[in-house]
Amino acid sequence: MAKFDKIAVLNKISSTGMVPVFYHKDVKIAKKVIKACYDGGVRAFEFTNRGDFAHEVFGEVVKFAAVECPELALGVGSVVDPATAALYIQLGANFVVGPLFNPEIAKVCNRRLVPYTPGCGSVSEVGFAQELGCDLCKVFPGDVLGPKLVKGMLAPMPWSKLMVTGGVSPDEENLNSWIKSGVFCVGMGSKLFPKDVIAAGNWQAITDKCKEALGYIAKARG
């Protein structure tokens, strides 16, 4: 069961404007990264469904976060089918994210009032997703589609809440361009977690980078 309800999850995402996106097969490393992000001010974290036994790692970090990161909404990403969504919801996912839009996933998530954020690349896809109860849609891949697409989508549909993933980096210029385009939040992966930093176990660097990025987002929002 999800720890936080749909409204609480969306409020957490909105309040910070950033959702780190991460996966690691080592439970210990996954826990360290999640705690580092939490200490840096993150309140919503996307654990991606990649690699063998990813759901087992997720189950462990959910239990860890419940104790060590009590205000963190932990969700799952890279979900493309309803069975996988149901599995992670049973393990405690507070939200479900995917690279594509699958109406059957929306039904599974809506049954438990768990937010589903599907990947969309056009106004029509966002519109269809909203019809099926998706409050937050993901513009993906962001580095291909760009901030201009976000502005273009919001012009005829200003009520839309859009998250961008792909091509987002924790520097002021990049974050400013996305926030000014009108995104609800950004999803950030590899640029927030450089391989050398993970290998060195420099968790403080991740905490500091999260604080820095959140500061840029707050500044861009005005």
Predicted confidence (pLDDT) per residue in 99-140, tens digit: 999 999 999 999 999 999 999 999 999 999 999 999 999 999
In a domain, 77, yes or no: yes
In a domain, 159, yes or no: yes
In a domain, 116, yes or no: yes
pLDDT digits over 4-62, tens only? 999 999 999 999 999 999 999 999 999 999 999 999 999 999 999 998 999 999 999 99
Confidence tier at 196 by pLDDT (50, 70, 90): very high
Q: Mean pLDDT across the stretch 166-188?
A: 97
In a domain, 64, yes or no: yes
Amino acid 128: pLDDT: 98
Tokens of 169: 């980096």
Question: Is cis: bond before 141, omega within 30 of 0?
Answer: yes
Amino acid 40: pLDDT: 98
pLDDT digits over 75-94, tens only? 999 999 999 999 999 999 99
In a domain, 1, yes or no: no
The enclosing domain of 52 has a CATH number of: 3.20.20.70
Rounded distance between C-alpha atoms, residue 22 and residue 190, angstroms: 8
Lowest mean pLDDT across 91-95, 139-143, 198-202: 139-143
Question: In whole numbers, what is the pLDDT of the chain averaged over residues?
Answer: 97
3-state SS assignment for residue 191: coil
Amino acid 176: pLDDT: 98
pLDDT digits over 155-171, tens only? 999 999 999 999 899 99
- Give Cα separations from 1 to 7, 19, 75, 96 (angstroms): 15, 21, 12, 13
176's CB contacts (< 8 A; 6+ apart) are 216, 219, 220
Domain count, the chain: 1
Contact 93, 113 (CB under 8 A): no
User: Is the CA virtual torsion 127, 9, 47, 174 positive or negative?
Assistant: positive
Amino acid 105: pLDDT: 98
Confidence tier at 189 by pLDDT (50, 70, 90): very high
In a domain, 58, yes or no: yes
Confidence tier at 202 by pLDDT (50, 70, 90): very high
Rounded distance between C-alpha atoms, residue 202 and residue 139, angstroms: 31
Q: How many Cα atoms sit within 13 Å of 62 on the Cβ side?
A: 22
Domain of residue 118: give its range.
Answer: 6-221
In a domain, 197, yes or no: yes
Amino acid 8: pLDDT: 98
